[in-house]
Structure 1
Amino acid sequence: MRPWLGLKMLDLNEMIIAQIKKQDASFPNVTKGILVAMIIPKSPGERAGFCPNDIIIEFDGKAVERLEEVSEILEDKVGVPIKVVVKRKSNKLVTLTVIPKDANVVV
């Protein structure tokens, strides 16, 4: 089984941050993290309450900066609730709980 959140995520870098800040001045003040670029409808990520431009800073109790770290944590977590801390517009911190589904099972 392979865990699936239904989120399109990217590692943040200076160029991406600058581009988003030009379009949205309320984008969080971050220098690194994992950007939630898109949420697939009816996915575990949508049900958990993720929003576009959320920045994942903590995943399952561990600080994360790269997508690779999230993948390692997710490895065996199908069906297991995971707490995720995201930074939103105006630097608001929000804790979400997501339950990964099996990527091989249609939503």
Structure 2
Amino acid sequence: MKVWAADGLSFAVPIDSIVKIVENFKKNGRVVRPWLGLKMLDLNPMIIAQLKERSSSFPDVKNGVLVPMVTPGSPAERAGFRPGDVVVEFDGKLVESIKEIIDIMGDKVGVPFKVLVKRSNNVTVSLTVIPEEADSSR
């Protein structure tokens, strides 16, 4: 893609992403994206240290995905997610990034996923979330 008056600027899309989109079109005639209703943030040691500094009750984790916001009425809210949860396992797999969660979900809509979250004071909770198809207006 070329941008006017931006010499040398270009965009690239990873081939793995394109392959998944093409497979989706072949299978469904459109791109299907699952939606949970979570805002998510990848955690790293620096962010974890800052969060622990703000609140001593922040869970003892080395990595994971922080949930700062849960959309009201969403599959995530119905599953029991709360702001401040840290996703440490998704579908039985340890997760360190949002990308890993997206890859695990793939195009699975209506399929239940077991999620392990850590909450304040190291409370571990097991949740089951069933993604809905993403609405392009969201």
Q: What amino acid sits opposite 2:95 in the alignment?
A: V
CA distance in 2, matches of 1:23, 1:56: 19
Residue number in structure 2 paired with 1:6: 37
After superposing the two structures, state which structure 1 stretch, 18-27 or 66-75, moved more.
18-27
Identity score, percent: 60
- 1:12-71 Cα offsets, whole Å, 9 max, x none, are 022322232233210001121110111011001111000111111110111111111101
Residue number in structure 2 paired with 1:57: 88
Residue number in structure 2 paired with 1:97: 128
Larger Rg: 2
After superposing the two structures, state which structure 1 stretch, 11-20 or 28-37, moved more.
11-20
Residue number in structure 2 paired with 1:70: 101
Indicate the structure with greater strand content: 1
CA distance in 2, matches of 1:46, 1:105: 20
Indicate the structure with greater helix content: 2
The alpha carbon displacement at 1:9 in A equals: 0.4
1:41 aligned to 2:72?
yes
Where structure 2 has 5 or more consecutive residues not aligned to the other structure, the ranges are 1-31
Root mean square deviation of aligned Cα: 1.5
Question: TM-score, normalising length from structure 1?
Answer: 0.92
Residue number among 56, 61, 75 corresponding to 1:25 in the alignment: 56
Residue number among 101, 116, 119 corresponding to 1:88 in the alignment: 119
Where structure 1 has 5 or more consecutive residues not aligned to the other structure, the ranges are none
Q: What amino acid sits opposite 1:55 in the alignment?
A: V
